[in-house]
Structure 1
Amino acid sequence: MTESAVPAAISTQVDLFDDAVVADPYPTYAELRALGPVVRLERAQAWGVPRYESAKAVLADPETFSSVNGLHLNPEGNQWVTANSVLATDGLEHARLRRVLSKELAPRAIKDLAESLRSRADELVAGLADRESFDVVSDLAAPYVTGVIMDLMGLPQVDGSGLMKQIESVFDTFAAPNQRTYAGLPSAQAMFEFLQTVCTRDNVRPDSWLGAAHAAADRGEIAEIECVMTMAAYLTAGMDTTIHAIATAVHHLVADREQWELVRDGKVGYDALFGETLRFDAPIQGFGRRVVRETQIGDVTIPAGDQVWVMFGSSGRDADKWGADADRFDVRRPGTEDHLALGFGAHLCAGNHLALMEFDAIFAALGKHFPELSADPEAPAERVLNNVLRVWEKVPVRTRG
């Protein structure tokens, strides 16, 4: 589509993946939401979908807005990183691949993990009790989540710490082409090679995620190579996102004593904290979709073959949905379970129940062992720029106020 064919009111030269925008995207999101339910992003050669209702409508209609060859705003990512994975399929193919871990990720199965998840979190947090300060990312969230995931995958003896940085770089590949996009492609390859090396039948427990994947291959439900692709998809979607969501929640709670006390004392549930955290600062800021057939968003016609960028981060700050104070973090906010940060419809994150249980375990342990948890005034929190993922480098906190 040529620039002249796009109404000026819904066209912008804003670069969503510019360093300054990535560092603080929310002012830019507000500008885009003011333009309409869909905005032509000329630099990305895609359509941004910044408002809550329009983003939800796109996610609810995979027959029009397909994940196939559409997640990344660059051809290399679509062809080499997520092609044929559970993330990048729709319809019956998506259901076939998602079914591999349907039993393991069902709410009942995750509920059965509650005791072990809490025990693991309590042991980890208790081990920090003699310290005056610690880093939420490297000392708490990363070791906890990677340990849980490696155990569930059936690889408890494998150090998953190296995967964390690789997965962060993989998220860079979802963006329109820039330096970070192409720098992330080798990390994606390294992740696949690592998984191919360790995810063998000899290395995994039969009663694990990988065991279930290999069993599905034995039954002819998936191809052998899809075992690794399945694990790669769930790792990409579920590990770093939870790590950085935990860090985000702690960062905002220690900045507001009243909110920390509400959570610590059980006056606000961990599910409310989880929802508000994801609404306020979605770990994954956006994913692409490919338009299968000509359609309309608002009064704008989107041609078949174009891409849209569903802006999860922007949808969470839409005042039309969340009220005039949408830019304020508030664990008392009602209805935050409606956030879109974990997707919606057929592509709703399959690990959402697990992520909530991890939140429950971590914050129960923090409240028990560190009731006076506070920000460290001498060591501010720091981020790392990532095209799509909201990455914390460190979030230092003090244990005794």
Structure 2
Amino acid sequence: MSTPLKHLISDIDLFSDGALHHPYALFRQLRDLGPAAYLSQQGLWFIGRYEEARTALGDWQTWSSAQGIGLNPVINEAWASALICTDPPVHTEQRKLFMDRLGPRQLKPLDATITQRAEELAERIVQMQTFDAVKDVAQDLPVNVIMDLIGWPEAVRGGLLELANGSFNACGPDNDRMRGALPQLDALMQFVSGIYDAGTLVPGGFGSTIADAAKRGDIPREAAIGLLVGYVVAAFDTTISAMTSGVMLFAQNPEQWDLLRADETLAAAAFNEILRMESPIQHFSRVATRDVDLGEGAVIQVGQRALISYASANRDERHFPYPERFDITRRPLDHLAFGLGNHGCAGQGLARLEGHAVFKALAKRVKRFELVGEPMRGFNNITRNCERVMVRAVC
């Protein structure tokens, strides 16, 4: 394969501690190089401009997931049966199992339950006054709702959350974080396999629907386990990250909280802006099935892997004016935090229900949030998260 043009090559390591802590200036540098930049540290392309990322996400024929979405062969082999690592027609049939349970009509009965739980959560926050946005808000409602929806047995729920935490590190390049996550991910796979084989998933839940499909022969056993593991990892990491980021952003931008408190109909727009500003999944990779000329000398050749960055695209000043500004009146309906096309996040409807309900409930009771110390960032190869964010609720 030919060498990328010199002006498109960058030695930025997006997976160093410093880059994971402060990625956005680096994303901008890479966007400024061209419609794609070549990361010499990892030997792959970076697509970080909005238009190019959106086009790639919507074109699975050109940008295939079937060779895996991770940046190392170990995870791509381990997740070969996972939904996120398949293309149509296999992907289409398996995704239907998700959408039959996670579409708007199917989620409607959960609305009242989620609202009630959000109100109870907000009451607890008022009583606590000082709280951890990660543990006391973000890990509360989303985890409980997802556990109920899938139908995990009560006895295994704590172990699942512990094993799922940080699993996306295994999708990164071959670094210490990736290697450290592999035993944990293997333990999670074995844990879920044991639950599946024991037949202890709660009848009527999303998990039992998948298990029943496998037992009928509609999908292989490995695919069923991959679906269950994939949904646990994605749902926990992404929803927890978005909730935490929302509290942090409102603490840092009190005038935006005042806007939401004055008009709760802004909750949907606010959640979209949170997702745009701090995209929970920063990027996944895909492989080109043909030569792709993106212009300005950026030619990605067949078989080459490209990192498609949702987080960078959502901060692209070519598409979003003043992208560093948190503005809940922006209404960025076209953000890419949930992906796009056939690999758009299957659980985004549930995440939105939860996010809207929590911030509406908090807005009724809390005048403002104040950070207590500096947020403690987590370092993950793929997700943007925090380990702890201490906050004071002023009521």
Q: TM-score range by the shorter chain?
A: over 0.9
Structure 1 position 227, deviation (Å): 2.1
Task: Report what 2:101 is aligned to.
Answer: 104
TM-score by length of structure 2 reads: 0.95
Task: Report what 2:272 is aligned to.
Answer: 275
Task: Report what 1:117 is aligned to.
Answer: 114
Question: Distance in 1 between the 2:45 and 2:32 partners?
Answer: 15
Task: Report what 1:357 is aligned to.
Answer: 353
Letter paired with 2:335: H
Task: Report what 2:385 is aligned to.
Answer: 391
Say if 2:251 is the partner of 1:257. Answer: no
TM-score by length of structure 1 reads: 0.94
Instruction: Report how many residues are paired.
Output: 394
Say if 2:369 is the partner of 1:374. Answer: yes
Task: Report what 1:12 is aligned to.
Answer: 10
Structure 1 position 111, deviation (Å): 2.1
Task: Report what 1:340 is aligned to.
Answer: 336
Letter paired with 2:358: I
Residue 239 to residue 314, structure 1, CA distance change in 2 (3 Å): same
Say whether the 8 Å CA contact 1:268–1:331 is kept in structure 2.
no
- For 1:215-364, list aligned pairs within 5 A: 215-266=212-263, 268-298=265-295, 299-323=297-321, 325-334=322-331, 336-364=332-360
Structure 1 position 346, deviation (Å): 0.8
Which stretch of structure 1 is more off in the superposition, 260-269 or 46-55? Answer: 260-269
Task: Kindly provide the CA deviation profile for residues 126-151 of structure 1, in whole angstroms up to 9, marking residues without a partner as x.
Answer: 23332221111111211221111110
Structure 1 position 215, deviation (Å): 2.4
Task: Report what 2:59 is aligned to.
Answer: 61
Residue 233 to residue 163, structure 1, CA distance change in 2 (3 Å): same
Letter paired with 1:288: S
Say whether the 8 Å CA contact 2:126–2:366 is kept in structure 1.
no
Structure 1 position 345, deviation (Å): 0.7
Letter paired with 2:175: N
Task: Report what 2:394 is aligned to.
Answer: 400
Residue 156 to residue 134, structure 1, CA distance change in 2 (3 Å): farther
Question: Distance in 1 between the 2:42 and 2:159 partners?
Answer: 31
Letter paired with 1:107: P
Structure 1 position 199, deviation (Å): 3.7
Question: Distance in 2 between the 1:88 and 1:150 partners?
Answer: 24
Say whether the 8 Å CA contact 1:168–1:386 is kept in structure 2.
no
Question: Distance in 1 between the 2:349 and 2:119 partners?
Answer: 19
Say if 2:65 is the partner of 1:52. Answer: no
Question: Distance in 1 between the 2:311 and 2:228 partners?
Answer: 25
Task: Kindly provide the CA deviation profile for residues 177-217 of structure 1, in whole angstroms up to 9, marking residues without a partner as x.
Answer: 11111111111111111212234564222211012112222
- For 1:181-200, list aligned pairs within 5 A: 181-200=178-197
Task: Kindly provide the CA deviation profile for residues 71-96 of structure 1, in whole angstroms up to 9, marking residues without a partner as x.
Answer: 1111111111x212110001100011
Task: Report what 2:77 is aligned to.
Answer: 79
For residue 319 of structure 1, give the secondary structure of its aligned residue in structure 2: coil
Residue 302 to residue 61, structure 1, CA distance change in 2 (3 Å): same
Question: Distance in 2 between the 1:25 and 1:356 partners?
Answer: 25
Structure 1 position 119, deviation (Å): 1.1
Say whether the 8 Å CA contact 2:253–2:326 is kept in structure 1.
no
Structure 1 gap segments, 5+ residues each? none
For residue 330 of structure 1, give the secondary structure of its aligned residue in structure 2: coil
Say whether the 8 Å CA contact 1:96–1:221 is kept in structure 2.
no
Task: Report what 1:208 is aligned to.
Answer: 205
Residue 48 to residue 220, structure 1, CA distance change in 2 (3 Å): same
Question: Distance in 2 between the 1:6 and 1:31 partners?
Answer: 17
